[in-house]
Amino acid sequence: MLTGDSENAAHKIANDLGITKYRSQVLPEDKAIIIQELKDEGHQVIMVGDGINDSPALSAADVSVAMRNSSDIAREVADISLLSDDLYDLVTLRKLSVGMLDKINTNYRQM
């Protein structure tokens, strides 16, 4: 998790969500650089953001998600816009996506 929030806030959020690796007080331009470095290492990266400052990182990610109350530019850059501000909706999104791909693959093999 990359966040511009303070160490205390980042630690609490990471702990609440079960995230084991995080960086706090990350500047917007550094988020995009870190995401590109992760991609260069072969990782697939999802970025969730809500502000103008998140736009460079959203555009650098493999998949980007804007939350409900995101800035206009964040929603424009993002691949997906959630209709809520609940991060747990990402779990639902993942389950739906996997189910949809499974259905597509099953139907494709039957042709």
Instruction: Examine the pLDDT at 87 and tell me if it is beyond 90.
Output: no
pLDDT (mean) for 13-34: 92
Considering only CA atoms, give the Rg of the chain. Answer: 15
Q: What is the pLDDT of residue 85?
A: 86
Dist. CA 51–CA 74, nearest whole Å? 6
User: Are 51 and 75 in contact, with CB atoms under 8 Å apart?
Assistant: no
Q: Are strands 80-81 and 46-49 parallel, antiparallel or unpaired?
A: unpaired
Instruction: Examine the pLDDT at 17 and tell me if it is beyond 90.
Output: no
pTM summary value? 0.78
Q: What is the pLDDT of residue 108?
A: 86
